[in-house]
Every structure is written in structure tokens, then in C-alpha cells.
Amino acid sequence: MSGNLNLPKDKDLAVHVINGAQAKEQLVMRMGYLGRVFGSGEEKAGNIAGGVLVISITAVLFLLWLSAAYPEARLSEAITGFFTVITTTIGYILGRKSSE
């Protein structure tokens, strides 16, 4: 196991601490690097959708700032595309929660 465990003096409690640490390490190994970012199991899809939502909102805010700074730039189609992604993602997140 990675790291040192501080084991209690009680043997039964020490066994539980060791088993918990082992289960945690096995979960980390199963999840891999992407699993650490997105999570595992049922929450993974919601976490990915949340990440897409945050990135899309950030992109829309940047495009709105860019279109205000450079009025000659035609960014309305890109903004509309990101709004489509945002509304679809919100619909997925809310629809997924209510169907459970």
C-alpha cells in the first residue's frame, strides 16, 4: 500500500483500517487517471456533463467578450452552437436526475 498507516492499538479496529485502506487503493487502481477526474460508477456521466457545461459557459462568455471587443467579428453562429450544447447538457442533467 502507498503511504504509512497509523494503526490503532485495538487489533479489530486495526484490521478495519487496513481493509479500508486496501479497498481504497484497489478502487484508485481500477479507476485510473481519468476515473480520478470524472469519478466512477453512476456519477461519472453527470460529472462529464457538468464539465462540458462549465467549459461551454466559459466559451460563450469569452465569445461574448470577443464580439464586444471586435464588433466586425461574426461570432453569432459559434455562440448559438455553444448555447445548443448548454441547453442540451442542462436537459441531460435535469432529465437524468428526475428519472431516477
| CA 53 – CA 77 distance, rounded (Å) | 18
Give the phi and the psi of residue 72 in degrees, each rounded to 5. -75, -15
Domains in the chain: boundaries: 1-38, 41-100
Q: What percent of the chain has pLDDT over 90?
A: 35
- pLDDT, tens digit, 9 for 90 and up, residues 62-91: 999 999 999 888 898 999 999 999 999 999
pLDDT above 70: residue 3: no
* Confidence at 37, pLDDT banded by 50, 70, 90: confident
Over residues 48-52, mean pLDDT: 90
At how many degrees (to 10) do helices 43-69 and 11-38 cross?
40
